[in-house]
Chain A
Amino acid sequence: MPGPAYPAVENYRFDWSALDEATIRAALDKVAAAGPQCASGLDGSLAGRTMRIVADGGPYGAGPTLAYRFESGGRLTLSENGGAEIGAGYGALRLGPIAFFAHLIPGTLRGYAVALDEASGLVTVIELWFAGYDKRKREVMRSVSFGYAGDMPVSEERHKFSNRVEGKGFYWKQDGGAETLEYYPSIAYTHWVELTRMNKKQGYSAPADYIQLSETYDLYTRTECEFSGIFQAHVVDLNRAQQVGLRIGFNAADELEFYLFRGEGEWLGQIAKFEQFGDQVAGPMLPRPGPGQSAAIDATAKGARAVYRPLETMPKMSKAAVAAAVKANTLVFAKRTGAGDGAAGMAGNSLPSSGGLAGRNATIRYDGGPVMQYRFDGPEELSWRRDGKGDWTTARYRAWESVPGVFLFGHVLEGMPDYDGHIVCADFESGKATCYNGYLNTPYFANEAGARTLFGKLESEGVPDPGNARHTYTSEMLGRAITYNYSPGLTSMHLYSTPKTTSWIIFTPQGSGGLEWCGSGAQVKIRDGLYFLYWIEEACNGTLGTILINLRTMHDAGIGYHCGTEGLSMSQVGAQCRHAGRFDVERFFADIV
């Protein structure tokens, strides 16, 4: 439903309107004649020029031939592929030798954004249109083609998709005031944080294009698929951290945003890339039949791109369905095979579990939370009691000792109305304990996990009293990118883009960053080099993932808590890790760490 231009809730929680073609067309018609505006003024230097652009190649084959005549007053005439001339309003900006202009085609749902390198005569043409994705007509489609300006090509060189921007990050401030952090950890996806338009706690991921224009300039696009569907493209000067670009699409108020912008940026850093040396493998990533992308999708169609659409594929369960599924099947650290186990392959490189807690008793007093009493009856069975009341309940558990004296263990609390699971990091040397308390029956989808972070003190024989000292939220993981190899061929990278966001990037077989998504999370310091993290695969899979990562050994132990139609599971996760690098972003989050 329409509301403020930028939602107060997370993008994946907002109920985006299903705009129809007529509504979209009406909005476009209002601005097509005037063209896009720019808060800091447009560049008029194209006025009076005529230009023939031949887009003779690209990932989708040859693009259009465009004959332009740029007039004064922000007007142009265009002949597409030798067709009749049409008039439209346009806007242009310059960045060094790059002339970047955009316009709509009146009476249609289409338009163009063009980047012309006046030094080389090479051109990238982005054709844009609405209503190309039938399920979400507001989502802007794009097709990229490459070519030259003039009657004849000046050389065989063309702009090209490139992986050279992969791993970079920038802070941007546009002339209209919008500030973002943009991470480019993939050749086909991007992750960004809205610093001013939305709550900066949460970052988002979306498909992207990365095109190299010259040694200095690149062109980037982002389509906010699954959310507003807004398209943004900008030319970037990597050295000067400057940008000029276009933003077009419907915001949360269903208002059309259609403007050019200039921006100034700050370099945030470069993380590692994992392709073979010399490998310049690049996008676009094309769709394949699979979840969210049916076999009807034609990977060769104009503008085809791989889009991860988790909202479409996630099983969405009611409270009653969750109750039935949990009753039918609750599996805690059981080895399971086949569809629906949610953890196969994710524990291949796990730490061996530890029997070090067996025979011990402990009490954990969580601040503002429960008092949990434990009797660890064996290496895989414990008894628990909450708040000193009632009978002891036996439960299956597993524990891992990531660092001597520091255990990660987890169990499900049978009988709790929201099917709670406690995933606990207990430091028997410091007397501190932190619990990620997973639970179901959350407001959006009952099978989607929620998590509370509980800090507390651990009482057990020989364990010192920490007094008021507790584990704490930390900024030491913020901006880091860490790869997790769970088993052969199954590797992802986590990017801790905000203090409350974990983004994950899936590597292609060639080692490039591929599809990406993200969810909310938390980052807690246990000891120097030892961090306890969680993320929730919100509006995606609903899993609560937790890991205790040891940055000294670069090995983690983890526990997944998941409910689906197959039931509730608590399962082991573990990976060999690599530190891919760290973006310099702490200064943007000093107020919320």
Chain B
Amino acid sequence: MTEKPMTSRRSFLKAGAIVAAPLAAVAAPAAAALAGDRSSERLARIEDERAIEALNRDLARQVSAGGSIAGLAEPGLVGLAFDPGAEPAEFTISADRTRASVRMACSAEFEREFEGQATLVQMARLQGNGAVRVTEARSFVGSYLRRRDGWRIERIELA
């Protein structure tokens, strides 16, 4: 299996902008004109990227809504957000379009309970602030599998 490094998000967005309108009219002369420069391959790649991005957005929403994510061993994780303007550091899709991986910056919010029995900690707990929320800049690393019904998350971690 070979893996191709994908275009940067910025170039991807450019391409997306180019193909956004023709999507509904792929048989139109303009789309046909693009066929000569491997536009169908590029279009497929864009579709894959969008599908994976949608998976990541759903995942972030699920985390922030308090849901637990199977396989994501990050105790206290209560929030996950991607900068919509940021470019993925890495976005690869296998040539046969069955596997993909992403590495991108994210901000992860954790709720950490105060540890110990120091007086300050005891008093803080007593007045209701027994934990603190901290936001950390992390790298979101995901791998994905394409099944018959579409892309699925295979594994994710916050590096």
Contact = CB atoms under 8 A, between A and B. Distances in A.
- A and B assemble together: yes
Interface of A: 285, 288, 290-293, 306, 308, 310, 313, 337-346, 486-490, 492, 504, 506, 508-509, 514-515, 517, 537, 540-541, 543, 560, 564
Contacts of B124: 489-490, 506
Given A488-B132, A488-B134, A489-B132, A543 B126 contact: no
Interface string B120-133: 11111111110111
B118 interface: yes
Residue among B115, B121, B123 with the highest chain A CB neighbour number at 10 A: B123
A541 B114 contact: no
A589 B131 CA distance: 39
Interface of B: 112, 114-129, 131-134
28 contacts: A285-B127, A291-B126, A292-B126, A308-B126, A338-B115, A339-B117, A341-B116, A342-B118, A344-B115, A344-B121, A345-B118, A345-B121, A346-B120, A486-B120, A487-B132, A489-B112, A489-B124, A490-B114, A490-B121, A490-B124, A514-B123, A514-B127, A515-B127, A537-B119, A541-B119, A543-B119, A560-B118, A564-B117
Main secondary structure of the interface of A (DSSP, over half): loop
Nearest to B135: A488
Given A488-B132, A488-B134, A543 B118 contact: yes
B116 A515 contact: no
A68 to B, nearest CB: 37
Contacts, number: 93
Contacts of B117: 339-342, 541, 564
B126 to A, nearest CB: 4
Contacts of B125: 290-291
Nearest to A188: B127
Contact of B120 (A288, A306, A341, A490): A490
A285 B124 CA distance: 12
A288 B116 contact: no
A196 B81 CA distance: 59
Contacts of A313: 122
Nearest to B121: A345
Given A344-B114, A345-B116, 12 more contacts: A290-B125, A292-B126, A306-B127, A337-B115, A341-B115, A345-B118, A346-B118, A489-B114, A489-B133, A506-B127, A509-B128, A517-B119
B130 to A, nearest CB: 8
Given A488-B134, A489-B131, A515 B126 contact: yes
A78 to B, nearest CB: 36
A515 B126 CA distance: 8
A541 B121 CA distance: 11
Nearest to B127: A514
Contacts of A487: 132
A540 B125 CA distance: 15
Contacts of B122: 290-291, 313, 541
B127 to A, nearest CB: 5
Residue among A489, A492, A508, A540 with the highest chain B CB neighbour number at 10 A: A489
A388 B117 CA distance: 39
Contact of A290 (B112, B126, B131): B126
List the 10 shortest-distance A-B pairs measured between CB atoms, nearest first. Answer: A489-B132, A344-B116, A344-B115, A541-B119, A506-B123, A290-B126, A514-B127, A515-B123, A341-B116, A509-B129
Nearest to A541: B119
A492 to B, nearest CB: 5
A205 to B, nearest CB: 11
A346 B116 contact: yes
A86 B131 CA distance: 51
Nearest to A289: B126
A343 B116 CA distance: 6
Contacts of A285: 127
Contacts of B132: 487-490
A310 B123 CA distance: 9
A339 B116 contact: yes
A56 B117 CA distance: 42
A398 B122 CA distance: 26
B129 A508 contact: yes
Contacts of B120: 346, 486, 490, 492, 504, 506
Given A486-B120, A517-B123, A345 B129 contact: no
A508 B125 CA distance: 10
B140 to A, nearest CB: 22
Contact of B126 (A306, A339, A540): A306
A340 B127 CA distance: 20
A560 B129 CA distance: 23
A504 B100 CA distance: 54
A290 B114 CA distance: 14
Nearest to B126: A290
B128 to A, nearest CB: 5
